[in-house]
């Protein structure tokens, strides 16, 4: 996970717009196609995918590494130099104060992007009006989600979130990480059928990389 030391804190800072932040990248050319963006890595995820490259971001109770005022201060100094800010994770929608955090960043003049698996449809509905772009992970066919995420409702929630995204008119990209430890031929076939049924002709299949996962930390 890219990171940049702008002064870490041992415990979260009490702040109206606070979100728990596990990492921060001051500039990225890869997290939002065609945009130069800073990336805020939100702490915590309700899902437990074996291929996750940021497993340190899964625990929701880990202390925030940055105060929200630190992030806003850094972004104020980068106005005119960055196109936007991406909220990534972890799962950013786990953060109850995400709408307030996004609104604060938009007030600084930045465009907003979000990386999500759609774990919380109601919260996703709240933030969609603030967004310019979404990178949406379609992790598997709906019936196979629970085996991958270890969360019973994950397939239902993900598909409802994607329905909301499509209705919103917000620009988006969809992608799947092809974990060879998970995708047996039947599961891969069901995924392909799901992608076709959703009409996602530009869907991106990401290669699995073991480095950085819990199988091989690096």
pTM for this one? Answer: 0.90
| pLDDT of 195 strictly over 70 | yes
Which pLDDT band, with edges at 50, 70 and 90, does 16 fall under?
very low
Is the alpha carbon torsion for 78, 79, 84, 87 positive or negative? Answer: positive
How far, rounded to the nearest angstrom, does the alpha carbon of residue 44 sit from its chain's CA centroid? Answer: 11
Q: What is the pLDDT of residues 68-116, one digit of tens each?
A: 999 999 999 999 999 999 999 999 999 999 999 999 999 999 999 999 9
88 to 42, 52, 60, 131, 216: CA distances (angstroms) = 6, 13, 14, 13, 22
Going by C-alpha positions, the residue among 13, 12, 17, 31 that lies closest to residue 175 is: 31
| pLDDT of 213 strictly over 60 | no
| Three-class DSSP category at 18 | coil
Extents of the domains making up the chain: 21-207
| pLDDT of 199 strictly over 60 | yes
Cα(150)–Cα(48) distance, integer angstroms = 6
User: Is the Cβ–Cβ distance between 94 and 60 less than 8 Å?
Assistant: yes
User: Is the Cβ–Cβ distance between 6 and 66 less than 8 Å?
Assistant: yes
Q: What is the pLDDT of residues 152-192, one digit of tens each?
A: 999 999 999 999 999 999 999 999 999 999 999 999 999 99
**Fold of the domain spanning 21-207:** TIM Barrel (3.20.20)
């Amino acid at each position: 996970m890219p990171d940049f030391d702008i002064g870490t804190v041992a415990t979260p800072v009490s702040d109206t717009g606070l979100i728990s932040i596990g990492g921060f990248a001051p500039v990225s050319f890869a997290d939002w196609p065609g945009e130069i963006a800073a990336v805020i890595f939100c702490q915590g995820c309700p899902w437990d995918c074996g291929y996750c490259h940021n497993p340190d971001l899964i625990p929701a109770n880990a202390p925030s590494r940055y105060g929200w005022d630190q992030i806003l201060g850094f972004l104020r100094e980068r106005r005119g130099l960055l196109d936007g800010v991406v909220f990534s994770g972890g799962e950013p929608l786990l953060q109850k104060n995400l709408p307030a955090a996004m609104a604060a960043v938009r007030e600084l003049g930045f465009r907003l992007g979000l990386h999500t698996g759609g774990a919380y449809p109601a919260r996703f509905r709240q933030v969609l009006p603030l967004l310019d772009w979404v990178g949406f992970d379609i992790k598997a066919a709906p019936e196979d989600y629970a085996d991958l995420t270890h969360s019973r409702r994950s397939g239902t929630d993900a598909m409802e979130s994607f329905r909301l995204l499509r209705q919103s008119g917000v620009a988006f990209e969809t992608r799947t990480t092809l974990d060879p430890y998970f995708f047996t031929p039947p599961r891969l076939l069901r995924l392909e059928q799901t992608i076709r049924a959703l009409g996602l002709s530009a869907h991106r299949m990401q290669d699995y990389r073991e480095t950085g996962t819990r199988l091989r930390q690096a």
